[in-house]
Homo-oligomer: A and B are copies of this chain.
Amino acid sequence: MSTSAPAPPRASALRLREEVRAPDEAAVVRIVEETGRFSPPEVEIAAELVREALRGGAASGYRFVFAERADRMVGYACFGEIPLTRGSWDLYWIAVSPRCQRDGVGARLLGVVEQRVGAAGGRRLYVDTSGRPDYAPAHAFYARAGYAAAARLEAFYGPGDDKLVYVKVLRGDG
């Protein structure tokens, strides 16, 4: 036997889940608030999307992936096919608890979303985000994941707050 110190306890494994459950609404609100990035109306919309998925299931147009560690939610993504398009999907929301933002949770979530969209025949996955300089970590995250900036709408969110539209082409249009 080795006399070296025991290994540190490993971080609990990350578990991903796609079924939406009633307690998810409160957990989503907690995560979105923890990030400190979202205004109260934005938090309310994040909660509303969970409620819509609970009420309407697949017909709601909102699908989720939740990331959990030791039964505690540490991040989630919400996505869906954009109505009136053929094969364009939107990543409506992705958020990770600040403590877990260097653990690759976001990339895991995004990878699952892309798999699901691709399996459903999706051609393109879009993400809207703010162009503000304090969103640079988000921009770098999408660039690393293979997303390209497709449009910038000046002052869309407010004065000095552009909207950036990122897109990843998941399959050709042929």
Contacts and interface: CB of A to CB of B under 8 A. Distances in A.
Interface of A: 39, 41-42, 45, 82-88, 123-124, 126, 150-161, 165, 167, 173-174
Nearest to A150: B153
Q: Which of A124, A153, A161 has the most CB of B within 10 A?
A: A153
Contact of A173 (B85, B124, B159): B159
Given A150-B154, A159-B174, 20 more contacts: A39-B84, A42-B84, A45-B84, A82-B156, A84-B157, A86-B158, A88-B156, A88-B157, A123-B155, A123-B159, A124-B156, A126-B153, A126-B156, A150-B153, A151-B151, A151-B152, A151-B165, A153-B167, A155-B173, A160-B173
11 contacts: A39-B84, A42-B84, A82-B156, A86-B158, A88-B156, A88-B157, A124-B155, A126-B153, A150-B151, A153-B165, A155-B173
Nearest to A159: B173
A123 to B, nearest CB: 7
B85 A158 contact: yes
A125 to B, nearest CB: 12
Contacts of A153: 126, 150-151, 165, 167
